[in-house]
Amino acid sequence: MTRQRLYAPGPVPVPPEVLAALAQPVVHHRSPAFRDLMQRVRDRLATVFEVPGDDVVVVTGSGTAAFEAALLASVGPGEEVLCLRSGRFGEKWADMSRRFGLNVTELAADYGTEYDQPALRSALQNAPGVAAVIVVHSETSTGMLHDVAAVARTVRETAPRALVIVDAVSSLAAAELRPRAWDLDVVVSGSQKGVMVPPGLGFAWLSERAWHRVGPRAPTYYLDLRRERDRQRDGQTGSTPATSLIAALDVSLGMILTEGLGERWQRKERLNAALLAAGEAAGLRRFAQRPSPATAALATPDGVDASALVAALRDAGVYIGGGQGDLKERIIRPSLLGYADEHDLMTLAAALESAAAEVGLGTRPGAAAAAAAESWVGSSPG
């Protein structure tokens, strides 16, 4: 029997302590016990967001639900938004904005590349009334970590009234993220990525500037962030929450904070760099100009279908992310974003090497594992 292993950029493997929390008796959401739990989770979540003391609203739903809530809260009907697009998720937020009747302008970058700051400045100058700029921090579909700090600086210099709305779904607790220091306005994430909880929770932080834009009543009921913020400040929620997931989140956040955010950012970066090195040794090439710790996007050589490599790994019991859309036949996306360490790195490197050889790449036996080990040891902080 082949053991199944999950090495995808979401959902991710979950620590046993988190799974154990899910198995505990369900707490009533209007009880004092849940109120204490919710208040502790809010405090821990704000620390992981690097905004201690601020409100981070928890939404029962995916990161997409949290993004929808934040968009509806901070941008009014008919207002103009500039969507930065370089992958499937940037495209998704542009589509969502259109669905809500917003006036959408897009600035595109080639998949796996950074946004051109002069082009961004020009786009903002040509849209003087823009209400918000939407950018993905970690574009999971391409493995690219975008420089949102640079984007925010350009926005502040060129269109200071515009809000900077950031999708941090796969970067929270995995890559350096500093909403206050970078002068961001909205940061959204979800539970099934770097915070190592099963899917089902979304998180949204708004700056004071963004909260001032929030009207007394958003054009939604369930996803009304102002209503939720007021309720959650008392340890309650506007509607029935996913109580067991919140209990699991409490455990996972405690584990992350015990490790230390800076240490965790560094460890995730080292794991991903070593995984990229393994992929290159197996005959692939790194796809993203600035790799995100959330996933190692690796392109196959001409004539090798990336989906065949994904299938070969799946047949061996290893589940990774494949390419999406136009990239389906071009890249693979293995990941050590979740509950993973250097031993998972070596397992995944060996599996990748074996599958690469199976689809016709001339991989020298042991080369990928050796490259992963060399990168991991060579990047040791001590």
25 preceded by cis ω (within 30°)? no
Give the pLDDT band (50/70/90) at residue 219.
Answer: confident
What gap in Å lies between CA 380 and CA 382, rounded to an integer? 5
Give the pLDDT band (50/70/90) at residue 382.
Answer: low
Give the pLDDT band (50/70/90) at residue 3.
Answer: confident
Q: Which tens digits make up the pLDDT trace of 245-299? A: 999 999 999 999 999 999 999 999 999 999 999 999 999 999 999 999 999 999 9
**Is the pLDDT reported for residue 217 higher than 80?**
no
Least confident of 133-142, 314-323, 356-365: 356-365
**Is the pLDDT reported for residue 362 higher than 80?**
no
Q: Which tens digits make up the pLDDT trace of 37-57? A: 999 999 999 999 999 999 999
Q: Could you tell me which of 101, 94, 55, 38 has the C-alpha nearest to residue 211? A: 55
**Share of residues in the chain with pLDDT > 70 (%):** 99
What gap in Å lies between CA 106 and CA 88, rounded to an integer? 13
Q: What is the pLDDT of residue 227?
A: 93
Give backbone dihedrals phi and psi of 121, rounded to 5 degrees, phi first: -60, -45
Q: Which tens digits make up the pLDDT trace of 5-28? A: 999 999 999 999 999 999 999 999
**Is the pLDDT reported for residue 118 higher than 90?**
yes
pTM, two decimals, is 0.97
Q: What is the pLDDT of residue 370?
A: 97
